[in-house]
Amino acid sequence: MKKLLPYLKEYRRECILSPLFKMLEAILELLVPLVVAAMIDQGITAGRRGYLLSHTLILVGLAVVGLGVSVTAQYFAAKAAVGFATNVRSALFKHLQSYSYTQIDQMGTSTMITRMTGDITLAQNGVNMVLRLLLRSPFVVFGAMIMAFTIDVWSAILFVVVIFGLSAVVFLIMSIHIPMMKLIQQKVDGLTGTVRENLTGVRVIRAFVKESEEIGRFGAGNAALLREQEKTGRISGLLNPLTYVIVNLGVIFLLRTGALQVSRGILTQGQVIALYNYMSQILVELIKLANLIVTVNKALAGADRIADALSVKVDPPRSGDGARSADTALVVFDHVSLTYQGAGDAALSDLCFEAGEGECIGIIGPTGCGKSSLVHLLAGFYPASEGSVRVKGRDVRDIPSKELLDLIGIAPQKPVLFAGSIADNLRWGKEDATSEEMEEAIRIAQASDVVTAKGGPDGMIEQGGRNLSGGQKQRLTVARALIGRKPILILDDTSSALDTVTDKAMREAIAAMQPRPLTFIVSQRTNAVQDADKILVMENGRILAQGRHEELLDSCEVYREIYDSQKKPVKEVAV
């Protein structure tokens, strides 16, 4: 939690004023039993109606002032807590945006979402409760005990015994309850993960008729959570009975001894009532303190998870001061290898090739051979473990990210579109793109019919492109990559959902661009890469062969097998 305290700095005033107003409220609350005692002893007993009326007005005044003070304290506490959560959320989001692909892979998307939502909410509630009750509840408890000593020392000793008894019960139950709450939170996280998995994969579940199995899995997790919650509820359910038993025993003893002292003239009836009220205040505040402990414990757990995410060191900004080599090619892979963090084997090994301006480079190979990893290295998403990837003679690790991606337009393997208009999505490729530039990119990407069907560039797209088909999403993703006419274009298997006619028309339109970008086409289809100036055939993270289509048919058995499997008709088998 200490790491998050700097985000409260701008709310120092609220953090001071809120507890102070709560202390003032507590003082007013402690005065009430004294006023009531005076009304009984000097008003009711003596039959002085004027005295009763004046003290009734005093009670009303204390209530009104107390309400105003309480509301003011709540306002300052809420302002500080919400402002703190806003600052932490902004800082965390900014920090997560600076994570490298490796760090995102390690932490996981669901974990980052939990940090941004649930954990920050827990920390916010903790700050709010601490500002309101951390000083108030102990102050009222010990204040009530001190006020009891001002009334009668021997009766006040009973308060000391009751406070220690209540404190022992509260902290004993909390010491058992808090670890159980942590276990419940873990089970809630697991159950939430199951729900998220089912909602994400609902189509697959229905396609394989696995609804009953998933319902059973959810039911088992839900039942386990129910058992833990019932067990925890039974423990926490002991809190009220035990505390009330202790307080009521204290009240019985107090009334008994108080009655004897009243009969002896040591105490008045009003003083006994005041002592009883102070005993009740102690009970209420200790219950509040127990709830505060639970809330603070949850807040600390959430704050620790947030601090862990904020403590992840991000890669420093690239300076752009790296040495420039004498490459004649636009892109050079010089003995490049890549090993993902935590992986045992290298994903890519000893990649060597060059690509010049305006060329078309096809990348093909079986699934999992490292095609996407290769273009991710070029875009700077992952750093090379060995060797160097150079663009215009500079290592991509030395080129600032913005400068590098100003040179590269990339359409990722998984098409991602955001909620908003088509134009808004296209401007991700270039913020100040003109209508003419968008129209050209849409035409080259063969997406004119998609835009027309949505009512033009201002047509709305749902989150993730849910109101588009797979092929429509891919074409708009390519159009976004084409915006700005960047010198390097990466198409990472962006034709998997396209028919061959549309795919061919798109490639021909890209080839006809002037000036023509250096284009990397990652595909499983030989017809998508057969017109490329150079084809890289990959297998097991290595470049098995490179050359033109005709050369590879003669020299590379893997390429020929892929080509034959896609071109030759399947022979009918007699049954």
H or E segment to which residue 352 belongs: strand 348-355
Tokens 């000893």 label which residue?
A: 350
Question: Which residues, 6+ apart, have CB-to-CB distance to 359 below 8 Å?
Answer: 518, 519, 533, 534
Give the pLDDT of the chain (575 residues) as one tens digit per residue: 678 888 888 999 999 999 999 999 989 988 888 888 888 888 887 778 888 899 899 999 999 999 999 999 999 999 999 999 999 999 999 988 888 777 777 777 767 887 888 889 988 999 999 998 888 888 888 888 888 888 888 888 888 888 888 888 878 887 887 788 778 777 877 787 788 788 878 888 998 999 999 999 999 999 998 998 898 888 878 877 888 888 788 888 888 888 888 888 888 888 888 888 888 888 788 778 777 877 887 788 788 888 888 888 876 666 666 667 777 889 999 999 998 877 778 889 999 999 999 999 999 998 889 999 999 999 888 889 899 999 999 999 888 888 888 899 999 988 889 999 999 999 988 888 899 999 999 999 999 999 999 999 999 998 888 888 989 999 999 999 999 889 999 999 888 888 889 999 999 999 999 899 999 999 988 989 999 999 999 999 999 999 999 999 999 999 999 998 887 554 443 43
Question: Which residues, 6+ apart, have CB-to-CB distance to 103 below 8 Å?
Answer: 312, 314
- Tokens for 200? 């994400």
H or E segment to which residue 534 belongs: strand 534-539
- Tokens for 487? 């010198």
Q: What is the dihedral of CA 364, 370, 376, 380, to 10 degrees?
A: -130
Identify the three-state secondary structure at position 332: strand
> Over the range 491-511, which residues count as b (16 or more CB within 10 Å of their CB) and which as e?
bbbbbbbbeeebbbebbeebe
- Tokens for 462? 């749902």
Cα-Cα-Cα-Cα dihedral sign, residues 324, 325, 326, 332: negative
**What is the rounded distance in angstroms from the CA atom of residue 446 to the CA atom of residue 497?**
13
Identify the three-state secondary structure at position 545: strand
Domains defined along the chain, listed by start: 2-311 (1.20.1560.10)
**Is 337 within 8 Å of 351 (Cβ atoms)?**
yes
Query: Which amino acid appears at position 216 of this protein?
Result: G
